[in-house]
Amino acid sequence: MNIKQIAKKAGVSVATVSRVLNHPENVAPATRERIQKIIDQEEYTPNWFARGLNFNKTRTIGLVTPHTVGSCYMEIAGGVEEVARQKGYITFMCNMERDPDIEKEYINHLITRKVDGIILMYSSLSDEYMSWIREEKIPAVLIGENELRPDWDSVKADCRDGAVKMTAHLVECGHETIGMLCGNAPENEANSILQGYKNVMKASGKKLSSKNVYDVENSIEGGYIGAKRMISEFTSPGSDVPGDQLDAIFASSDEIAYGAMDAVKDCGLCIPDDIAIVGFGNYKMSNLMEPKLTTVEEPYRLMGIYGARILFDLIEEKEKNGEESTPKHIILKTKMRIRKSCGHKERIGEMF
């Protein structure tokens, strides 16, 4: 069923039908109602392509994610998608499987398809490619730590601050030797966490050598492998207690922390008494681990929601041919979730 057939059925011209669809106020009430009735009856919906061809607007956004699993990405995605749906937009899911080539392929594809906007989550694209995107004049927002791109609109959690607080907390717990397992992705977030950690370590006069920080894959397996290595590095020669020189492990994501917990247990050690472990993110499961994982909560869903809102602001700005505004940067506060795994002595009961 197309507009012509509706017009014929109603005994009017296509223009009039088009008007009741787009500017109903310009149609005589009687005609309008008559036409509307036929539209409803026939369940007519205007052809998407023909419309797009005229408006050159898709009401579609692209969301590029590093991965489908790993709870945090999809929580952000949920926030983005919710806002998009409420705005009458629909979201292309572009999962890059942590492969930058797929990421590029997807972005090219999105631009070809004339999406109205793009959200890049924890993107790891080159400067060159980023400026190419910029030239395409397509509204875009970055979600996730991105200190290196001040010229892009972005949303992130204040990970540096979170890491500072967490490291300080570990120090307060009385831990002397604190190691860090630093996930290689999302790169920039881990870097901020690392900085926060290093600053506090130095400020509080803790030892800090290359042994303290390991780069690991941002996954459960990565955490497991990294923790094993770290434990063996921190074992006194001849000691039969593995990791006897290590007090605590700070993992740059909860996923890594899960793996680290497993490794510590496998060594026959007790968390937090032998080695304390803390994470970053507060994934849904962290409260169910044994012991419950102390971590820094990032407001993932909110990050998605804010990111989407900025994007739609940009889109609307562009539609109105407004000036390009200066990039907005939203930084959301993190929250300490003190549970059992950090070994906090005094207030442990009240802060689960």
Partner DNA sequence: CTGAAAGCGCTAACAA
Partner DNA sequence: TTGTTAGCGCTTTCAG
Residue 37 found at the interface with DNA (CB under 7 A)? no
Residue 154 found at the interface with a copy of itself (CB under 8 A)? no
Closest CA to 62 of 150, 155, 138, 145: 138
Among 8, 9, 23, 75, which residue interacts with DNA (rule: CB under 7 A)?
Answer: 23
Binding-site size, DNA (CB under 7 A)? 30
Residue 192 found at the interface with a copy of itself (CB under 8 A)? no
Residue 52 found at the interface with a copy of itself (CB under 8 A)? yes
Residue (55 or 352) nearer to DNA, CB? 55
Residue 68 found at the interface with a copy of itself (CB under 8 A)? yes
Residue 254 found at the interface with a copy of itself (CB under 8 A)? no
Among 22, 26, 47, 236, which residue interacts with a copy of itself (rule: CB under 8 A)?
Answer: 47
Residue 94 found at the interface with a copy of itself (CB under 8 A)? yes
Considering the complex, what minimum distance in angstroms separates the CB of residue 117 from DNA? 20
Residue 289 found at the interface with a copy of itself (CB under 8 A)? yes
Among 14, 111, 208, 332, which residue interacts with DNA (rule: CB under 7 A)?
Answer: 14
CB 248 within 8 A of CB 344: no
The one of DNA, a copy of itself, none whose footprint includes residue 81, by CB under 5 to 8 A per kind, is a copy of itself
* Secondary structure, 3-state, the chain: CCHHHHHHHHCCCHHHHHHHHHCHHHCCHHHHHHHHHHHHHHCCCCCHHHHHHHHCCCCEEEEEECCCCCHHHHHHHHHHHHHHHHCCCEEEEEECCCCHHHHHHHHHHHHHCCCCEEEEECCCCCHHHHHHHHHCCCCEEEECCCCCCCCCEEEEECHHHHHHHHHHHHHHCCCCCEEEEEECCCHHHHHHHHHHHHHHHHHCCCCCCHHHEEEECCCHHHHHHHHHHHHHHCCCCCCCCCCCCCCEEEECCHHHHHHHHHHHHHCCCCCCCCCEEECCECCHHHHCCCCCCEEEECCHHHHHHHHHHHHHHHHHHHHCCCCCCCCCEEEECCEEECCCCCCCCCCCCCCC
Residue 268 found at the interface with a copy of itself (CB under 8 A)? no
Residue 320 found at the interface with DNA (CB under 7 A)? no
Residue (13 or 325) nearer to DNA, CB? 13
CB 293 within 8 A of CB 343: no
Binding positions for a copy of itself, 198-217, rule CB under 8 A: none
**Cα dihedral 150, 193, 350, 205 in deg (nearest 10):** -120
Residue 41 found at the interface with DNA (CB under 7 A)? no
Residue 53 found at the interface with a copy of itself (CB under 8 A)? yes
Binding segment for a copy of itself (CB under 8 A), chosen from 48-56, 179-187, 331-339, 341-349, is: 48-56
Residue 329 found at the interface with DNA (CB under 7 A)? no
List of residues contacting a copy of itself (CB under 8 A): 45, 47-50, 52-53, 56, 58, 63, 67-69, 71, 74-75, 77-78, 81-82, 85, 90-95, 97, 102, 106, 109-114, 220, 258, 261-262, 265, 284-285, 288-290
List of residues contacting DNA (CB under 7 A): 2-4, 11-19, 21-23, 26-28, 30-32, 44, 46-47, 49-51, 53-55
